[in-house]
Amino acid sequence: MNSIGEMIISSRKNKNLTQEQLADLSKVNLRTIQRIENNENVPRENTLKLICDTLEIAVPKIETQLFVKSSNFIEIAFKYFSLVIINLALMAMLGWMTLDSESNLNSRFAGVLLSFLIPICIVFFTLKMSRTQRLLKFGSGFFVYLILAIIAVGFPTAFVSGLLPCLSIGLITLFYGDSLILKNSNFIIK
């Protein structure tokens, strides 16, 4: 695919215009035209419209690239540290409610409820995030805990205690939760 610069160069040469003449006719700075033709920068929409109107060509759509400010190491470390803490807290809460020696039917029922309600809240606040990304960020602790529970206490004990069903409910809710929430509801932040 031709770049915007290549398209402008070919159109300018077809019209037998120099860069200076194009700059005068389009009322755009000569240096700006040189930068655009050399692909040194992406032109603003107004600048591109002026040049394309002068050359009598259609205005191409500019691929809008989000220039995200590069985060420093501390911001990145804090973000991932927060995700680790959230995952550990969710793992500890479900383990305490189901695997603990003093856990009874009420605490196991609370574990089942929380294994649905907390992930559905996470889904509600991360609706713009893809399912896989949400599962990797917030469900990685559940998945690791699922594997570790099967290895440490065995499948039968982990299943009977309610830990495996709770972790499975949490993982399924994180992945499919966005289809449970009505996207056309008035209370959803868009």
Q: What is the pLDDT of residues 80-92, one digit of tens each?
A: 899 999 888 888 8
List, in order of start, the domains of the chain with CATH numbers.
4-55 (1.10.260.40), 73-180 (no CATH)
Q: What is the pLDDT of residues 135-178, one digit of tens each?
A: 889 888 888 998 998 999 899 988 988 889 999 999 999 998 88
Report the distance separating Cα 108 and Cα 94, nearest Å: 9
130: burial class by Cβ within 10 Å (0-12, 13-18, 19+)?
exposed
Q: Give the residue carrying structure tokens 């402008």.
A: 8
Q: Dump the DSSP string for 15-71.
A: TT--HHHHHHHHT--HHHHHHHHTTSSPPPHHHHHHHHHHHT-PPPPP-----PPPP
DSSP SS3 for 162: coil
Distances in Å between the Cα of 131 and the Cα atoms of 31, 54, 140, 165 are 46, 46, 13, 20
Quote the pTM value. 0.56
